Amino acid sequence: MLSGPAGVGKSSIVAYLREHHPDIWHSVSVTTRPRRPGEVEAVDRYFVDSETFARMVRDGELLEHAHYADNWYGTPRAAVEERLAAGTPVLLEIEVQGARQIRAQSPEARLVFLAPPSWEELERRLRGRGTEPEDVVRRRLDTARIELAAEDEFDEVIVNTSVAEAAERLVELMRAG
């Protein structure tokens, strides 16, 4: 399970793993957030409306869910459970709130926190996306400060100075069991 603040590079790590380690299955999250340019349904995220998301929560279809930056995010339960039962390495890319839910449900899960090399770099990355208005960026930065303080709740911390190095370190941790 990989978590960390917005802008730290979680999506970049996942893209690297898809290319270099296709045996690791990445769970595709469900979100109520609007699709960003270039995002593909069922590859990057499942994009749903609030009513659909609420139904999924009510019906127990999500392993975890979190409200973040005015949107909901969650992990579909069935696909994860199927892959785990088949012995496939599974990676969840989730928010800190969701990581806490996973820890409560599955204490044996390995929680990895992806940290930025510096606060300035995190801010540069978030603003550099150019995909969100300034008020959203500010809220994400405010939340990032809180999330960075949660780093010691995780089993491992990887500082993302290089996507390839961080991704390979994550693979090592996953393979170590």
pTM of the model: 0.88
Q: What is the CATH number of the domain that holds 44?
A: 3.40.50.300
pLDDT digits (tens, 9 = 90+) for 82-138: 999 999 999 999 989 899 999 999 999 999 999 999 999 999 988 887 777 888 888
- pLDDT above 80 (res 31): yes
Q: Give dist(CA 46, CA 35) in Å, integer.
A: 9
Q: Give dist(CA 174, CA 90) in Å, integer.
A: 9
pLDDT digits (tens, 9 = 90+) for 51-88: 999 999 999 999 999 998 789 999 999 999 999 999 99
The residue whose two tokens read 């593909």 is 40
Shortest CA distance to 53 belongs to which of 22, 26, 82, 74? 74
Q: Which structural domain range is residue 62 located in?
A: 2-175
Confidence at residue 171, expressed as pLDDT on a 0 to 100 scale: 97
Question: Which helix (H) or strand (E) covers residue 159, if one does?
Answer: strand 156-159
Say how many domains are in the chain: 1
pLDDT digits (tens, 9 = 90+) for 2-28: 999 988 999 899 999 999 999 999 999
Confidence at residue 177, expressed as pLDDT on a 0 to 100 scale: 67
pLDDT bin (cut points 50, 70, 90) of residue 149 is: very high
Q: Which residues contact 88 (CB under 8 A, 6 or more apart)?
A: 23, 25
